[in-house]
Amino acid sequence: MLPKKSTAILVVHGIGEQDPFSTLDCFVRNLYPVLKKDHPGEIKIIHKAENREGWIDNYIGIKSAEDESAVLDVYEYYWAYLPQRQVNFVEILDWLIKTTNGARKFYEENNRLIEEYEKDVRDEVFSSSSIKKRWYLKHLSWFVKLMAILRIPKVPYVDGIIKALLGKGEKIFVDFVGDVVVYSSTSQKDKTFEIRKKILDGAFNQLKIILECGKYENIIAAGHSLGSVIAYDAINKINNEMLFNEKLRLCAGKLKGFVTFGSPLDKIAFFFRDHTQDEEYIRRQLLANYHNFKNKDLNLKNDSVRINTPYKAYLEHVKWINFWNIKDPVSGKLDFYRVDENIDIPLYNKWGVCHIEFWERPEMYQKIVEEYFN
């Protein structure tokens, strides 16, 4: 079933060596059978292109042969080329040690987070194992300790030893985890901060163009894996920009949906959110006000002094659906955000490998059609 109103979907890919148009191919190729199943006539797939201030935006249109007014356009935001090989293996190890130790400390000091935001969660398990929900804090311990030993400056030739042990796995590790390292560089002091800024600015600008172009009544942002984090940040930036941009603010109602699949947003919030000290009540509230799109407070502080904020929740109406599966170590039920639906979608590949299977699940596309195309 095609949407009754002119609709655009912006899809953001996840980590890895992605190629241009791969995201369009995968998303449209799996959406098309779902649309065709409930559509009485022929559906055409059309290659479209527009000039966007010096660059050509290629995207896909899906139309009914009988009703030309039923318009669905699918765009991709391609960012994989920006973080490629910007950090090396040893830098990733240093980052892993730092972030894991920091997350462990934060978790131990803030057990109230689980009580407040995961009241309906018991000891979730993977198949018949006893690995619990927070396995990535418990079971990374031995790995982090080993890496810390290897990173002692007195150990000679550590880079060569690691590369020899891992072989081709070193390149795969850097290409995939390196994307996370680059995009988690939220401090301006980090060497990859400018690359992260380019990635986010690109997503923000593309979503802004679609909102302001006047062609669509219904707009949906969708992101897989790390792409869901980029899409979230872009929507949050759009929300903040609306404070100063009346034209954009008038478009707020067009953004109807946000779809995340295989999303690590809870883990990103837990590991990489900028946490504050107890006494930093002004900084804590500044951060919460600025990152305000459907966000919950990770600090749970009852500050006696409350500061006023100019930021408003212009996009609170956006319906957010998150698809996850317990076999996927990257994704999860999103507890630290105001998600409308967390859907545990069936995946059939092995633990870990199933992370890319979301793209192929017809149940996900059927839900998108039912929720956003009526």
**DSSP 8-class letter at 294:** T
Is residue 159 pLDDT above 60, yes or no?
A: no
Q: What is the DSSP string of 173-204?
A: HHHHHHHHHHHT--STTSTTHHHHHHHHHHHH
Question: Whole-angstrom Cα distance, residue 164 to residue 152?
Answer: 18
80/218 Cα distance (integer angstroms): 27
Residue 49 burial (10 A CB sphere; 0-12, 13-18, 19+)? exposed
State pLDDT tens for residues 44-101.
Answer: 899 999 988 778 899 999 988 776 666 899 999 999 888 876 777 667 767 666 666 6
Residue burial 188-221, b: 16+ Cβ < 10 Å; e: rest = eeeebeebbeebbebbbebbbebbeeeebebbbb
pLDDT in tens, 5-58: 899 999 999 987 689 999 999 999 999 999 998 777 788 899 999 988 778 899
Under the banding of pLDDT at 50, 70 and 90, the label for residue 139 is very low
CA quadruple 161, 352, 132, 227: dihedral, nearest 10: 100
Q: Please tell us whether the domain made up of 7-82+195-372 is placed in CATH 3.40.605.10.
A: no
Distances (CA, A) of 22 to 16, 18, 204, 243: 12, 7, 20, 35
CATH 3.40.50.1820: which residues of the chain?
7-82+195-372
- Name the residue among 155, 159, 142, 145 with its Cα closest to residue 90: 159
Q: What is the pLDDT of residues 209-253, one digit of tens each?
A: 999 998 999 999 999 999 999 999 999 999 999 999 999 999 999
